[in-house]
Amino acid sequence: MKKLLLTFSIGVLFLTLTSSCERCIECSYTYTPYGSTQDSTIHVAQECGNKQDRQTYENEVRAEASLVGGEVTCDN
């Protein structure tokens, strides 16, 4: 009975810890401003949430970067 209770307790603890953890993504893009010889890097605020929210965020950053010919880097 003790083994069953211990196993159940560990399972509940594991589910609680893993379900409360949100994944986050942070993107930046680098571009060369008009008339400049140096690159500029724009760091965009971190986004946490489900996979769809993170994908939407990344697509928005890519669209913003494409307006200035930037190269996007994202870290999960």
Q: Which residues in 19-31 are b (16+ Cβ under 10 Å) and which e?
A: eeeeeebbbbbeb
Q: What is the pLDDT of residues 16-74, one digit of tens each?
A: 555 557 899 999 999 999 888 899 999 999 999 999 999 999 999 999 999 999 999 99
Identify the domain containing residue 70 by its residue range. Answer: 23-75
How many domains in the chain? 1
Domain assignment present for 34: yes
Tell me whether residue 8 is in a domain: no
Handedness of CA 34, 39, 40, 43 (dihedral sign): positive
In-domain check, residue 43: yes
Q: Is residue 65 part of a domain?
A: yes
Query: Nearest CA to 25 among 67, 56, 70, 66?
Result: 56
Q: What is the pLDDT of residues 2-13, one digit of tens each?
A: 676 667 667 655
Whether 40 is in a domain gets the answer yes
pTM check: above 0.75: no
In a domain, 67, yes or no: yes
Q: Is residue 49 part of a domain?
A: yes
